[in-house]
């Protein structure tokens, strides 16, 4: 009987410690729900050191990862298999709370590599876009 009581107490302590730990940690803030969003995007391309800023680019988030970025010229870059020969790496949406405003800020990094060129996209997600093409 003492062994059963001890096991129950250990299990209760384990589950309680897990729940208290998740309440206290700031990294438990959830990511964005699946959908389309607008974002400000900074581009830096190596090795020619070209940089550019784009505002209000449309992108798609699925499972907490930026999966598709719609470019201003009508082009699209995306994860997964493509016919363009580039490799899409990253896209994990990170969340942090702005200390001054208290609002949540969503950011991501995507790297595209193709034929010796590496393009780094720094993404700051602004707001949700209407669903559609």
* pLDDT digit string, tens, across residues 64-112: 999 999 999 999 999 988 888 999 999 999 999 888 988 889 999 999 9
Tell whether the model's pLDDT for residue 17 goes beyond 50. Answer: no
Examine the pLDDT at 23 and tell me if it is beyond 50.
Answer: no
Asked if residue 16 has pLDDT above 90, the reply is no
Neighbours of 124 (CB within 10 A): 13
pLDDT above 90: residue 18 = no
pLDDT at 57: 95
* Residue 102, token pair as written in the block: 């208290």
The three-point CA angle 72-77-80 to 5° equals 165
In angstroms, the CA 118 to CA 36 distance is: 25
Alpha-carbon radius of gyration of the chain: 21
Confidence (pLDDT) at 71: 93
CB 106 within 8 A of CB 18: no
- DSSP letter, residue 83: S
The pLDDT, as a whole number, for residue 50 is: 94
How many beta carbons lie within 10 A of that of residue 110, not counting itself? 24
Quickly state the pLDDT bin for 31 (edges 50, 70, 90).
confident
Does pLDDT of 132 surpass 70?
no
Measured CA to CA, the distance from residue 89 to residue 92 in angstroms comes to 9
């Amino acid at each position: 009987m003492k062994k059963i009581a001890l096991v129950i107490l250990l299990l209760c302590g384990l589950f309680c410690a897990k729940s208290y730990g998740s309440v206290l940690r700031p990294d438990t803030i959830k990511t964005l729900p699946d959908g389309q969003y607008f974002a400000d995007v900074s581009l830096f391309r190596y090795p020619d050191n070209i940089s550019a800023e784009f505002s209000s680019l449309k992108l798609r988030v699925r499972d907490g990862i930026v999966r598709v970025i719609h470019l201003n010229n009508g082009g699209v870059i995306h994860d997964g298999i493509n016919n363009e020969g580039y490799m899409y790496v990253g896209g994990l949406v990170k969340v942090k709370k702005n200390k001054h405003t208290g609002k949540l800020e969503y950011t991501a990094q995507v790297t595209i590599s193709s034929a010796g060129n590496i393009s780094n996209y720094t993404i700051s997600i602004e707001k949700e876009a209407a669903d559609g093409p």
